[in-house]
Every structure is written in structure tokens, then in C-alpha cells.
Amino acid sequence: MSTNEKVNDIKPPLWVLLELTHKCPLECTYCYNQLDFANTKDEMIKEDWFRVMEEVRELGAVQLGISGGEPLLNKDIVEIVAKASELGFYTNLITSGVGAPEGIIGKLKDAGLKTVQLGIQSHDKDTMTLVTNHKGAYEQKLKIAKEIKDAGLQLIVNTCITRQNIHQVGEIIEFADETLDADYLEIANIQYYGWALQNVNALLPNKEQLTKAKEVTDKYRSKKKDMKAFFVVPDYFADRPKACMNGLGTTFLTINPDGMALPCNTANTMPIQWPNVKNSSIKEIWFDSEQFNHFRGDSWMSEPCRTCDERDKDFGGCRCQAYALTGDMHATDPVCSKSPDHGVIEKKIADSVKFANQDLVYRNKKNSLAFINKTF
Ligand code: SF4
Ligand code: FES
């Protein structure tokens, strides 16, 4: 079936992400969020979130991610999770673990939370401080990891890999398994959008480093330990793009703290005025809005995607990345070797070697802790 036929067969969203606030105590150098991310206002009140959950549940969604910014900074989070459980959602909290109110994990467990995904940047305190620009992050993350396990919740550790920590992959695996007792470890090679794109020269590992890190992960996996470890290869080193979001408007729905509905959590970096749940129902937004229909099917595609026999596999790649790197949201994702803009990726890789000493830039440059001098 071609993607144009699929446009007439719109399925409801399967995976819904509520971004409860964009406030975040950390300034991770690899953050994929847009540069003015922290300026989004918290305009959704508890009752708005309840209505959104009722509407998406009615459409058939069952997976609910609760994220941010740092979602634990939303004072209504326990009631929101309780409502999600009452509606029958499987809830996953995505957190940095920093700035968490005392005792919150136990309350969330009682409210019905099932899984916590915790970002851990390193087993080493100095590296974590360097990456997050936050001196107390290490202790707070360790404390909350223990609370998650003590509460009997599933713990997924997510480690974003950059040049600052790629040499530590073996130690990070050991730390996640033995110290944190994680159920899963995702070693995620980051996507270069937002702050990550600003910092790309200082962050992008080289191919040899990636090969070695993958070998270390595979070696651990071959031992059949309790913790499951996954390694996600960065698309800059592939010759085909990822099928990002499984195609926009097919599977994922994100709601921002100001009520904006998005088919991908960074889709607001593109020049589209996305609809808002305060003005329209989820049903209208998902099925009928011009914006959510824009990238369905293949009529929006430019060449070479439009006539490519692989377009049903990757949908032309990532729209946010195509826009960030070419200024054209309809362009072929430059990761693809068939893209006329593929040279942009090759240049990024070459520049990351040439300008490898570029300083890390944080959201709040004045508070930079980059003086923690490490050689990578
Ligand atoms: Fe995918 Fe487009 Fe590349 Fe074809 S040209 S493989 S559809 S990104
Ligand atoms: Fe937005 Fe890929 S991250 S479409």
C-alpha cells in the first residue's frame, strides 16, 4: 500500500506524551529541545490535562508518557498520574530526577505509575556535572534511582552518549546494572537538534569510538544478564534516515505545557502554527486539522523521496532534522545518501573533527561549570 492510500486510513494515536512543564533544573549540552524551550508558559491547568487524557483514551490510546522539561516540577503530577491510571493508561514517567519533591516516587507509585525512565549521563560525578551544568545532579539522581527500585517500579536508565562519555560505556553499563539495579539501559546516541546542534562539534563521537562502544555493549548483552541493554546508533553515520515518529501524524501525539498539539515533540521548530487543545478537541486536531494532515501520505514529499521506492520504509526521514539542516521542511532528510544535501552531514562530521576543541555552550552561559576540565 502506498503512503498516499494510507492517508485515507488514519489510525488514532498510539503513544501520547504530556509535557507537563518546560521548566528544567538542568542544562544538558545535548538537549534536543528548541533553543527557547524554557520560555514556554505552563498554561495547561490540571483540568485541561484531565480532559486531554479522557479524549485520547476515548480514541484508543493506551501508552502515556509524562515528560517535560522536568515533569516532577508540576505540582499536580500525582493527581494527573492518578487520573491516567483511572482511565486505564500504562504510564511512563520520563525524568531527570533533579529537583524532585521529597517522597514523590512513593506517591506516584500509589497513584498507579508503572515505569520510570531516568536520565543518567555517567557513572562519574565530574562528567555528569560537566554535561548537565548542575553540581548536585549526581547525588539527586542516585537517591531517586533507589527510591524507584524500593517502590517496586520498573527502572529504565537512559544515557545519552556524546564524546564526553563514550569512553565510559563499559563503566556506565556496570553502574546501571550493579549500582542502580536498572531493568533496562538505553545507550542513546543523540539526535542533533536544538542545543545539541549548537554543540555538535564538541559532542559528536567519531566512527571508531562508536564501533568500540557498540562492541562493549554487545559483549555485555552476550552475557545474558538481568538488565537489558540497548544501543541506538546515531543516524549521522548511516546512509538511510530513521523512520522518524513512524511518519508524522501516524502514531505519536505530544501536548506542550501551553496546550500546543504536535506530531513530534520538536515539531514546533518547523514553520507551522500547530493547533492548541484549548481551542479544539483532540479528535478534530488528530483527524481533521490541516497541520496534522500535512505530512500524511507522500504528496508533500520533494524529489528524490517522492518517487523513491524506499519511501514507505522511512517516510523521507526526520522532518525536524530536514528543516534544521536545510531550511526546507519538505526536503529529503540529509542523512540519506540520495539527498542532494547529504554533504551537510559529511561537513558536520568533518567539522566535528576539525573543531573538536569547541567549548560546550549551556542555556545559561553565565553559570557554566565547563571549567571542570576533562580531556576527551
Ligand atoms: Fe528515504 Fe527519501 Fe532517501 Fe528514498 S530518498 S531512501 S524515501 S529519505
Ligand atoms: Fe521531529 Fe523527527 S524529530 S520529525
Task: Give buried/exposed letters for 104-137 (b at 16+ CB in 10 A, else e).
Answer: bbeebbebbbbbbbbbbbbbbeebbbbbbbbeeb
Q: Is residue 2 part of a domain?
A: no
Question: How many domains does the chain fold into?
Answer: 1
pLDDT at position 1 over 50: no
Q: Is the pLDDT of residue 133 over 90?
A: no
Cα torsion for 369, 374, 375, 376, to the nearest 10°?
A: -80
The residue that leads in pLDDT, 286 or 223, is 286
pLDDT surpasses 90 at 371: no
Residue of higher predicted confidence among 299 and 363: 299
Q: Does the CA dihedral 78-79-85-90 come out positive or negative?
A: negative
User: What ligand is nearest to the CA atom of residue 194?
Assistant: 2
Q: Which of 131-145, 204-218, 352-366 has the lowest mean pLDDT?
A: 352-366
301 CA: nearest ligand 1 atom: 2
Give 16 or 27, the one with higher predicted confidence.
16
Q: What is the ipTM score, two decimals?
A: 0.95
Confidence grade of residue 366 (pLDDT, cut at 50, 70, 90): low
Residue 14 has pLDDT above 50, yes or no: yes
Protein residues whose CB sits closer than 6 Å to any atom of ligand 2: 244-245, 248, 264, 266-267, 318-321
Is residue 31 part of an annotated ligand binding site? yes
pLDDT of residue 5 exceeding 50: no
Is 244 marked as a binding-site residue? Answer: no
Confidence band, pLDDT 50/70/90 cuts, at residue 374: very low
Residue span of the structural domain in which 187 resides = 12-283+296-371
Cα of 99 from ligand 2 centre, angstroms? 28
CA distances from 281 to 41, 83, 278 (A): 21, 19, 8
Any domain includes 120: yes
Residue 3 forms part of a structural domain: no
Question: Model confidence over 264-279: pLDDT tens digits?
Answer: 999 999 999 999 999 9
Q: Are 191 and 321 in contact (CB under 8 A)?
A: yes
Position 6 in a domain = no
Place of cell 501551553: 258
pLDDT score for 226:
85
Q: Is the pLDDT of residue 370 over 70?
A: no
Does residue 288 fall inside a structural domain? no
pTM of the complete model: 0.91
Q: What's the whole-number mean pLDDT along residues 50-67?
A: 97
The average pLDDT across 318-341 equals 96
Q: Is residue 179 part of a domain?
A: yes
Does 308 appear as a known binding residue? Answer: no
Looking at the CA of 191, name the nearest ligand: 2
Rounded Cα gap, residues 39 and 257, in angstroms: 10
* Alpha helices, DSSP H, located in the chain: 3-6, 46-59, 77-86, 104-111, 125-132, 137-150, 169-174, 194-198, 200-203, 207-222, 282-283, 290-294, 311-314, 319-326, 342-354
When pLDDT is cut at 50, 70 and 90, the band that residue 376 belongs to is: very low
**CATH classification at residue 196:** 3.20.20.70
Q: Which atom of ligand 2 is nearest to the CA of 266?
A: 1
Ligand 1, atom 8, lies closest to the CA of 316
Report how far ligand 2's centroid is from the alpha carbon of 228 (Å): 26
Alpha-carbon torsion angle 94, 155, 187, 235, nearest 10? -40
> Residue of the nearest CA to atom 1 in ligand 2?
320
Residue 203 has pLDDT above 50, yes or no: yes
Q: Residue 319 Cα, ligand 1 centroid: separation in angstroms?
A: 12
Contact status, residue 28 vs residue 160, Cβ threshold 8 Å:
yes
**pLDDT confidence tier of residue 35, bands split at 50, 70 and 90:** low
Non-local CB neighbours of 154 within 8 Å, separated by 6+ positions = 114, 115, 116, 183, 184
Whether the predicted pLDDT of 161 surpasses 80:
yes
Lateral strand order in the sheet of 228-232: 228-232, 184-189, 154-161, 115-119, 90-95, 63-67, 15-19, 252-255, 261-262
Residues with CB under 6 A from ligand 1: 240-241, 304-305, 308, 310-311, 314, 316-317, 332-333, 336, 338
- Rounded (10°) CA dihedral 214, 216, 218, 220: -150
Tell me, yes or no, whether 291 lies in a domain: no
**64, 38 in Cβ contact below 8 A?**
no
Ligand lying nearest the CA atom of residue 265: 2
User: Would you give the end-to-end CA distance of the chain in angstroms?
Assistant: 48
Domain annotation covers residue 4: no
Per the prediction, the chain carries an average pLDDT of 91
The CA distances from residue 294 to 7, 138, 247, 290, in Å, are 10, 43, 11, 6
